Amino acid sequence: MGAIGVVAAALAALGGSRPPVSPGPPQPGSGAIPAVVGPTVFYEILDADGSALVERRLDGHSLPRRIATRPDADLGQTWTIDPGGTIAVAILPTDGQQERVEAVEIADGADLWQVELPFTAISEAVWSADGHRLALISRPEQAGPTESFVVDTRGGRVTRTVVPQGAVLQGFDVDDALLLREAQGDGTVSAWTFLRVDPATNVVERLSAVPDVGPSTTGAEDVDPARGFAVTLSLGPNHRGTAVHARPTNGGAARQLGVFPSVDWIAIDPSGTGVAVAASHGLRFIAWDGRAEDLWSSDDSIAGFGWSADGDYLWIETDRRGPNLTVIERSTGRTIVVPQVDPVAQSLVVRVVGGVSLPDTALPAVEPTPAPTPAPSGPDVADAPSIASAWVDASGGRTLLHVDRLVPTSEGGMRVAASMTPVPVADDPDTMVALLPRPRSAQVLAWVGTADHAMGWLWDGITDHPSVRLAVPRDWPASAFALAWRPDGQAVAAMATRVGPDGDVRGTFVIGELGAARTTFLPFNPQYDRLEGWWSLTELRVGHVICTEGCEGRFSYSARLRVRDGRLRRLTPADRTHAPIDEIDPDGRGGLVMSVINADPADDVRIDWPLGSGSVDGPAVIGFARGGRSILLADASGDGTDLYRIDDAAQRAVKGRLADPQPVRLGHLPRHGLDVRISPDQRWALVVDRVENVQLVELSTGRAWQVDRDRTLDWWPTT
């Protein structure tokens, strides 16, 4: 990038409102500072209630403390904390163009201020040493300048500055000026120049000398101006592996520190002695003189790592379920795994505040235990549905399929109303179980599939009645998958593969009449190779091939495939009255668009959404009712998720638009990020949250019953 000299930048001050602040912890000089024992780990978890910021003091007795929770957060980093651990800032999406920046007091979780900014990268945030300044950077994906935002965390005032496009946030100097860096070099970085945003004039100036500020990593590049070193990555010798290089910040020859098969992240030690390198399943520290030390290794991949502000601790995140956060004391090499009892969707370290040594005992002797599933109590709830629950258990030395019929009880808990006699199945860690209620019957099919074998059992939900092996033809493929019942319940269809005479493996649809001698095989159509179900008693419904980069041209998303002769007929908008056939997607304006045919909007139906969804994409389609004539929707709101039904959207649309969808509200759920299945009578819902907790919810009252995790569930048929 060419020299910019002194750049006049736009100045904008965005005032944030700040409520009265509760008294915080004792301040320096107050004479009431308690003795600190052990470091403090601040981490965030994404659970059923949202993103929670948690404090864990490694002092031998403290339990985790939730500081604050934001229910509208999603996967990815939400929080950042100042170096001293006194103030936390959350960054949350709003309407698709902006994000909400909120600050809370660490001591008591009290709200401090709130402002709105364009989208910024929270992972690149930098703080001043005293925690009074937070810098963020915005890089628009489309048109628009790159901008930095410096937030005065004492009141939420924001200073906005246009900066060079490739600039990276570096830190703050002693005068509270924001410092940035720019890489120099054509293709390969050879040096860096540094920029300073004057806090008084908001003018960007290029520095002639290297500033006195510590390292700031992007993961693939870390620069420590104060010590004149930078670390970069490049292809290894002979284009094999990844080489780690140290080089002077002002240019000069690079020195190779090591070569690894691959490198995930690098970060210079804040005390300036070397660099930590995350490579696959291990963390290695390399000093500037080339001496190397393996700090940590695991069978799990490293998802992220970082340093405490003064370099006395390292933290590591791994890709695994359960406890995945580790803290390493640099001086002793001791490692502490941060306990995590309850299931979470995500767990990330935000900051480790060190400055003190680990005590001999860092964790309490007893940790909290997860809450058990409530036991059933009282009579069964009148008119409640029964739930089919299936799982495979290998704990007793044999691998068995279990199926229960569950009902909710009036005082809480789910009662096992009936249990199928367990049946032995193949011992395979990748076993999948599907439940398919049989049409026109009170039976449920439990279908068990592995990589090379599949079979199913029918059961009617009565304890004394035995299960019956599904009577498919003898030549039914052993690895058939994606099973679907024919509407009369007397035949099934599936997908499978066959080896042709030339040895080629070909995909095929298979149809088996129950009790018949032979299976019907229909080769995949080149354009329609997915089984979506049955269209009628004589036709399958098949889906268009999935194109990894999108399919071009005009085609219907689904088609009818006649079993008798393999004749294919593409669906048209006229088929909407028969079944739900539309692809329904966000329209980019908060509503929905229904489409039957790709690249042809002539028969599309746009549905306006009048309720002001809490999601930038509008409501989400979660199912259909009334044979497909009604669309079931989940809409994010400020305090949870609202469920709605829209009836006869295509039939009521005028000139391709349903301006007033007249949504019928079915109920409210008090959380976000939910997977919802509504019962056939639309009075109940099976709800799975972000951490795979399952509840049966009565929609009219909101009352919920906890259901065991790790089960395959479905509604038990009533006829």
SS3 track for 245-264: EEEECCCCCCEEEEEECCCC
**pLDDT, position 548:** 65
Q: How far apart are CA 18 and CA 14, in angstroms?
A: 13
Q: Assess contact for 210 and 228: CB atoms under 8 A.
A: yes
Higher pLDDT, 253 or 82: 82
Q: How far apart are CA 551 and CA 249, in angstroms?
A: 48
Q: How would you label 350-377 residue by residue, b for 16+ Cβ within 10 Å and e otherwise?
A: bbbbbebebeeebbeeeeeeeeeeeebe
Q: Assess contact for 448 and 433: CB atoms under 8 A.
A: yes
User: Is pTM beyond 0.85 here?
Assistant: no
Question: If you average pLDDT over residues 568-578, what whole number do you get?
Answer: 95
**pLDDT, position 36:** 65
**pLDDT, position 250:** 86
**pLDDT, position 96:** 62
Task: Say which residue the tokens 């240019």 belong to.
Answer: 251
**pLDDT, position 27:** 41
Q: What is the DSSP string of 424-484?
A: E----TT-EEEEEEPTTSS-EEEEEE-SS-EEEEEE-S-TTSPPEE----TT--TT-EEEE
Q: What is the DSSP string of 503-533?
A: S-EEEEEEEEETT-SS-EEEEPPSSEEEEEE
Percentage of the residues of the chain whose pLDDT score is greater than 90: 79
pLDDT at 437 over 50: yes
DSSP state of 18: -
Across the chain, mean pLDDT equals: 91
Q: How would you label 550-566 residue by residue, b for 16+ Cβ within 10 Å and e otherwise?
A: eeeeebbbbbbbebeee
Q: How far apart are CA 428 and CA 394, in angstroms?
A: 10
Q: Assess contact for 337 and 324: CB atoms under 8 A.
A: no
**pLDDT, position 143:** 76
Task: Say which residue the tokens 């809480």 belong to.
Answer: 412
**pLDDT, position 639:** 83
Task: Say which residue the tokens 């100042």 belong to.
Answer: 82
Question: If you average pLDDT over residues 548-575, what whole number do you get?
Answer: 92
pLDDT at 628 over 70: yes
Q: Assess contact for 336 and 314: CB atoms under 8 A.
A: no
pLDDT at 621 over 60: yes
pLDDT at 5 over 70: no
Q: Look up residue 425 and give its two tokens.
A: 């199945």
By C-alpha distance, which of 719, 27, 704, 624 is closest to 373? 704
Q: Look up residue 100 and give its two tokens.
A: 């909400």
Give per-residue pLDDT as tens, 68-108. Answer: 999 988 899 999 999 999 999 999 987 667 899 999 999 99
Give per-residue pLDDT as tens, 158-200. Answer: 999 999 999 999 999 999 999 999 998 866 777 899 999 999 9
Confidence of residue 8 (pLDDT cuts 50, 70, 90): very low
Residue type, position 334, single letter: R
Task: Say which residue the tokens 């001086």 belong to.
Answer: 331
Q: How far apart are CA 490 and CA 538, in angstroms?
A: 12
Give per-residue pLDDT as tens, 278-301. Answer: 998 999 999 998 899 999 999 999
**pLDDT, position 95:** 65
Give per-residue pLDDT as tens, 298-315. Answer: 999 999 999 999 999 999
Question: If you average pLDDT over residues 55-69, what whole number do you get?
Answer: 96
Q: Look up residue 641 and give its two tokens.
A: 């998720």
Cα separations in angstroms, 475 against 464, 478, 512, 517, 598: 31, 9, 9, 8, 37
Q: How far apart are CA 454 and CA 464, in angstroms?
A: 26
Q: How far apart are CA 642 and CA 632, in angstroms?
A: 11
